[in-house]
Structure 1
Amino acid sequence: PLNRARMADYLGFAGIVDNAYDAGQISSTEQPVEVASIVTSIALHAGAFIEDVMTQYAQPRPWILLQEGGGNTYVSSAMPQKRNPGLLNDTRQSASTAVTLAMGPVIQAHNITPGMGDAKDVRQNGEMIESAVTVLAEWNEVLGALVINPDRALEELNSDWTASQEIADVLMRKYKLPFRAGHHFASEVVDYAKANNIKPSDFPYAEAQKIYAVSAGEMGLPPGDLPMSEVEFRETLDPIAIIRNRATVGGPQPAEMTRMLDAADKALGEQDAWIAARREHIDTALGRLDADFDKLLASGG
């Protein structure tokens, strides 16, 4: 009988699929489908990122753009003032192509007799994998071409009441107010600000005190002053201070971002080491196979 363990060793596999029927008829069809799920995941993540950046091109004053020229952008054929993000368009198209190709093995493996070769086509599966490699390469180009304007980004945050929930969070976390009460107060502040075209940085503290007094009564809280000082109230609405004061695991605060980037670098290093070790193992195994074949041929056997 075929020595499956020896064959796996000669070909550089880490081991065998224990059940022989599974190895010959099932796994070889499932593996392209599993790879397709990885390709799909890569493409979906890339597509979501691209679309997130693409929304900037609908802004009259964006804060994240591609560096112009160099194949990244091109001038619109109709509107002289417009710069089309060609690299983003190309990467999105590549991601869509990858998703399309990844659907192939799933459809081919559906409703067939076990062992049929529909989903095992090496050329087609190779094209699917290459499509994911293309997406990653183009995505890397996008990341390298991004130009971020921090001042403009902060201006955008300060132009609206994006940080208003922090008021409710601080009132609950520091002053033990029910979140619904703090949320109601923050909502009333936003309503007043929008009705009077007031930005967060310009909101009058005296008006906040008045709104708090009314909101507290509406929520059934004991009469009292807004527990935040004016300095704290303004800091609570400052996006930079919000990020700086965050203590959530996985949050945007600089220390946590550094930790996550370091962890990602470590994981990538470990994966690179694993790939190098597997490649060396496969090369060694195939070299041993060739050497043993050469011995067999030399012996005339």
Structure 2
Amino acid sequence: MPRTPLCLAAPLLVASMLCAQAQQPAPAKEPARDEFFWLGEINKASTVINAEQGLLDRALAPKLAKGIAKVIEAGNQPGARRPTTVITFEPLMIKEAGVEVTLIHAGRSSQDMHATYRAAILRDRLLALADQLNRTTRTMVELAATHRDTIVPNYTNGVAAQPNSYGHYLLGVAAGLERDAQRIREIYARVDRSPMGTTVLNGTSWPLDRRRMADYLGFAALVDNAYDASQIAAADLPVEAGSIVTALALHVGGFIEDVMTQYAQSRPWILLREGGGNTYVSSAMPQKRNPGLLNGTREDASTALTLAMGPVFKAHNIPPGMPDAKDAKANSAMIDSAARSLQGLDRILKALVIDPERALEELNSDWTASQELADLLMRKYRLPFRAGHHFASEIVDYAKVNNIRPTDFPYTQAQAIYRKAATEMGLPAAELPMSEAEFRSTLDPVAIIRNRATSGGPQPAEMDRMLAEAKQRLDRQDAWIGNRREAITAALAKLDADFGKLAKGAD
């Protein structure tokens, strides 16, 4: 039977709905907030403000506004040219409104206009990065809640070190991501300052209303010093953004390498769920399931690190004011690369498969609980820590030579080792003060986690507290992002309304 179009093959009601949806015009796409967009907004704002303040003939302003509106409308058409500099944007305005349109250029320069659109674009990209960071961190915190009581090995120096809750481990990684979120909020306050009105480097004799311009463009404050605006801040802020990208990429890469360590084992306790592009089969070896998602995300993080170095080298050994480190497209690509690595990390977190029994088996196959022997002997029986450490170390040495697991270690042998260790440490000969039951419970990874007492540990009460606080921080960060975006949207809407009224005066 030949295949038929969906509208014909579906039942009548469903088909009519699908066909009606197919015939609906696609919603108008918002213009990209690129250099062209912000040059248009700056020109709109200059026209409105200067006309109201008498710096521009009010009778001429509507004609100029209408010409500027035509340039913006033309640039917003699919595939249209969107100039990215003042000197390439201005001829289009002259063509539509005449040379008189350059009267809006009072007290302006490409220096402060370009510094302004760079700040506005950087501001948008930082908010997008903050949004993705919060999404990824929320996924991590939710996974931490799921694995609040999952006990796994943690590693130091590449060697299994101590048991821990996997949820506690994830909250530790999330704490690093929270610092990245703090850094974004901090740099945002420095980026969210309008350079407009500073002209080249020392202001202008025109009495420009810089505050009004900042309000129209959605900036919270002004760059105070006119020299700083386009000569210093415009170069050092991308470098600071690069440091945030670097920190994020390091956090992503470190987490991936932790997971990758398990892929070297024949029986890992953590893997990626197969399918969905997470893994792929080796072209030559049928048994292999290569962790493509881990590899790809690590590559994204490495790319982000590479791009983050760009502003540093570009800003290095040049006099103030040079454009090398200021390129909006390059700096946007740098920040977007960090967002892509975070998207990959989010996918990884959602694809992880943890095997708690296998993790516990690995813990019990090694001596990751041995420090607890020394701690308990000091805490409960007042044995000097170094003496208890020596005893535990001798236990481990004997066990490894004789291939004995912690769960199988003979209590009588432990007693003999204790007597020997006490003598070697210069202590009076004594019997091991721990009963056999206490000796075995001290080596229980689950009991170790449950009995932790310090704040910030993996014990259930502390996990509940940290999980609740992490979720609250994420909610506050979501609110912060939303408030900043709403402030910019409201400011631009106000500018659109006021500019629209002015342009209508030409009809």
3-state SS of 1:35 partner: helix
Could you tell me which of 285, 288, 293 is aligned with 1:82? 288
C-alpha separation between the residues in 1 aligned to 2:317 and 2:496?
40
Task: Give matches, 1:53-68, under 5 Å.
Answer: 53-68=259-274
3-state SS of 1:221 partner: coil
C-alpha separation between the residues in 2 aligned to 1:2 and 1:34?
30
How many residues in Structure 1 have an aligned counterpart in Structure 2? 300
Could you tell me which of 194, 202, 208 is aligned with 2:400? 194
C-alpha separation between the residues in 1 aligned to 2:378 and 2:220?
54
In the alignment, what sits opposite 2:328?
122
Q: Does 1:91 align with 2:297?
A: yes
3-state SS of 2:261 partner: helix
Could you tell me which of 171, 177, 184 is aligned with 2:377? 171
Could you tell me which of 239, 246, 250 is aligned with 1:44? 250
C-alpha separation between the residues in 1 aligned to 2:444 and 2:404?
15
3-state SS of 1:118 partner: coil
Deviation at 1:162, TM superposition (A): 1.1
Deviation at 1:35, TM superposition (A): 1.2
Deviates more, 1:52-61 or 1:248-257: 248-257
C-alpha separation between the residues in 1 aligned to 2:235 and 2:454?
43
Could you tell me which of 445, 452, 457 is aligned with 1:251? 457
Q: Does 1:139 align with 2:345?
A: yes
Deviation at 1:259, TM superposition (A): 2.0
C-alpha separation between the residues in 2 aligned to 1:221 and 1:101?
60
Q: Which amino acid aligns with 2:237?
A: Q
3-state SS of 1:147 partner: strand
C-alpha separation between the residues in 2 aligned to 1:254 and 1:58?
31
Could you tell me which of 345, 350, 355 is aligned with 1:149? 355
Q: Does 1:16 align with 2:222?
A: yes
C-alpha separation between the residues in 1 aligned to 2:352 and 2:472?
25
Q: Does 1:109 align with 2:315?
A: yes
In the alignment, what sits opposite 2:166?
none
Q: CA RMSD in A?
A: 1.4
Deviation at 1:210, TM superposition (A): 1.2
Q: Does 1:291 align with 2:481?
A: no
Q: Which amino acid aligns with 2:261?
A: T
Deviates more, 1:20-29 or 1:65-74: 20-29
In the alignment, what sits opposite 1:281?
487
3-state SS of 1:2 partner: coil
Give structure 1 stretches of 5+ with no counterpart: none
Q: Which amino acid aligns with 1:213?
A: R
Q: Which amino acid aligns with 2:411?
A: Y
C-alpha separation between the residues in 1 aligned to 2:429 and 2:208?
86
In the alignment, what sits opposite 2:150?
none
C-alpha separation between the residues in 1 aligned to 2:355 and 2:235?
48
C-alpha separation between the residues in 2 aligned to 1:226 and 1:204?
13
C-alpha separation between the residues in 2 aligned to 1:138 and 1:121?
26
Deviates more, 1:69-78 or 1:216-225: 216-225
Structure label with greater radius of gyration: 2
Deviation at 1:298, TM superposition (A): 4.4
Deviation at 1:104, TM superposition (A): 0.9
In the alignment, what sits opposite 2:128?
none
Could you tell me which of 448, 452, 475 is aligned with 1:269? 475
Q: Which amino acid aligns with 2:265?
A: Q
Q: Which amino acid aligns with 1:231?
A: A
- CA-to-aligned-CA distance 1:136-163 (integer Å, 9 cap, x gap): 1111110111110000000001101111
Deviation at 1:176, TM superposition (A): 1.7
C-alpha separation between the residues in 2 aligned to 1:255 and 1:48?
28
C-alpha separation between the residues in 2 aligned to 1:84 and 1:139?
17
Q: Which amino acid aligns with 2:311?
A: P
- CA-to-aligned-CA distance 1:204-250 (integer Å, 9 cap, x gap): 11111111111111112233221211111111111111111112222
C-alpha separation between the residues in 1 aligned to 2:505 and 2:322?
39
In the alignment, what sits opposite 2:202?
none
- CA-to-aligned-CA distance 1:165-190 (integer Å, 9 cap, x gap): 11111111222211111100101111
In the alignment, what sits opposite 1:239?
445
Identity %: 72
Give structure 2 stretches of 5+ with no counterpart: 1-206
